[in-house]
Structure 1
């Protein structure tokens, strides 16, 4: 599954890469180079981040599912328990 960005997010990511390069490298990079770097990051690195995010969500969901029994459990056959009282013994 390819990880893609919508047009607006892609433009913002490219601008962010250009700014980072301008502020941290000796030579700034242009729009085409920044877009190439973004493509590389999305193809090479993003799947690892995505897969870790999916694993984290699965772990959280499994924990929540395990808690469901405690949250929604109803005692069975409890009607008579409300009315049964310990009987006092007669003297």
Structure 2
């Protein structure tokens, strides 16, 4: 399984967010190491679900774009009248 790579600055923000959550919601202080382990756990466990949801969202968006393009192309078609002569 591929581990999600997060840039250092973003990882630090996420760790601070986890620490803030524990302090605000549970009135517990946890260190950077514990928060980092928790982040890694959630990335490993929830990451594939979130990734798959992102893929499905992108697929739906592309399908809608293709449908819109088909409708736009159909609107460009010209009628053919076989009964008219030159």
- What TM-score range do you get, normalising by the shorter chain? 0.7 to 0.9
> How far is the alpha carbon of 1:60 from its aligned partner?
1.4
Structure 1 segments, 4+ long, off by >6 Å, are: none
Q: What is the aligned partner in structure 2 of residue 23 from structure 1?
A: 24
Greater helix percent: which structure? 2
What's the secondary structure of 1:14's corresponding residue?
A: helix
Equivalent positions of 1:42-57 (< 5 A) are 42-57=43-58
Number of residue pairs aligned between Structure 1 and Structure 2: 80
**Residue of structure 2 equivalent to 1:59:** 60
C-alpha contact 1:14 1:34 (8 A) present in aligned 2: yes
Structure 2: gaps (5+ residues): none
Distance (Å, rounded) in 1 between the aligned partners of 2:55 and 2:3: 15
Structure 1: tracts of 5 or more residues without a match: 85-91
Can you list the C-alpha shifts for 1:57-90, whole angstroms capped at 9, x where unaligned?
1011111101212223432587xx8xx7xxxxxx
Computing the radius of gyration from Cα coordinates, the structure with the larger value is 1
- The answer to whether the Cα contact below 8 Å between 1:3 and 1:46 also exists between their aligned partners in 2 is yes
After superposition, the CA RMSD in angstroms is 2.0
- TM-score by length of structure 2 reads 0.79
